[in-house]
Structure 1
Amino acid sequence: MMISNVSLLVSDYDRAIDFYVNKLGFILLCDVPVTAEQRWIRIAPKATVEGAVASGAVASASALVLTKATEQQKMFVGQQAGEGVFLFLQSDDFWQDYQRMKTLGVDFLEEPREEVYATVVIFRDCEGNKWDLLQPKSVA
């Protein structure tokens, strides 16, 4: 077994797709209408998709499912982890990714810092969720 998808509440599908694809460099895996109000939208970081293609497992690649919030869920948009960091975006080239994202207007909440486990910085997505951009260090 594996975790295949994580649901991410959004208030607007197209705004979320724009942010994740154009600012974070994710790949839009699918965008399928389900009802007049709901769509099945899966996105994933480019490296995740490339790894899945190499292994022949694209359909089972881990992804985010953008889920339009219902009336009852609207209060949780941008707060899926309360005030904490919700998701972690791992980089192979932290400084390049950080500069690219900063140039594209991603909202960073601090300056990058060196921790014992990684180079890391917190940013906020288009809905207000906190993310860590990090590049792990070799820890014995």
Structure 2
Amino acid sequence: MRLHLAALVVDDYDPAIRFFVDALGFELVENTPSLTNDGRPKRWVVVRPPGAETGILLARADGARQQAVVGDQFAGRVGFFLQVDDFDAAYERMVAAGVEFATEPRTEDYGRVAVFLDIAGNRWDLLGPA
């Protein structure tokens, strides 16, 4: 058993793809036209870190209820944890790409950490070794 995908509700596909691929360095695994349950067009868009098995399904908000959670899927808490081998290189690359960090990098017992915001405003931990 394994976790294959986690869904992340976003405003629109293309800006989200650019953020995850260009700013974070993820791979675009799938970008396929699809249909909603009631026949409207949508896309099946999956991104994931290079070498990872688990991906993120970028799901465009459909309706007011879903639009209301864009950027707040985890009620203001960190909801994703992106672990990297070289924290400083990843942090510098992300800052150069315009990723917004909510905290400065710090060292904890478990390693280096800084909180950043994704394109929608959800909070993520960038984690690296101590």
TM-score bracket, shorter-length normalisation: over 0.9
Q: Deviations over 1:79-120 (max 9, x none)?
A: 110110010000000000000100111001111000111100
Alignment match, 1:47: 51
When normalised by structure 1's length, the TM-score is 0.86
Runs of 4+ in 1 over 6 A off after TM superposition: none
Counterpart in the other structure of 2:99 = 106
The CA RMSD measured in Å over matched residues stands at 1.0
Cα distance in 2, alignment partners of residues 136 and 98 from structure 1? 13
**What's 2:115 paired with?**
122
The count of corresponding residues between Structure 1 and Structure 2 is 125
Measure, in 2, the Cα distance between the counterparts of 1:93 and 1:136: 8
Aligned to 2:60: 68
Percent same amino acid among aligned pairs? Answer: 42
CA distance in 1, matches of 2:127, 2:54: 18
Q: 2:86 aligns with which of 75, 87, 93?
A: 93
Deviations 1:33-54 (A, max 9, x none): 0025311111000132xxxxxx
SS at match of 2:120: coil
SS where residue 6 of structure 2 aligns? strand
**Which ranges in structure 1 are unaligned for 5 or more consecutive residues?**
49-60
| More strand, by proportion | 2
Structure number with the higher helix fraction is 1
Give the Cα–Cα distance (whole angstroms) in 1 for the partners of residues 4 and 129 of structure 2. 22
| Structure 2 gaps, min length 5 | none
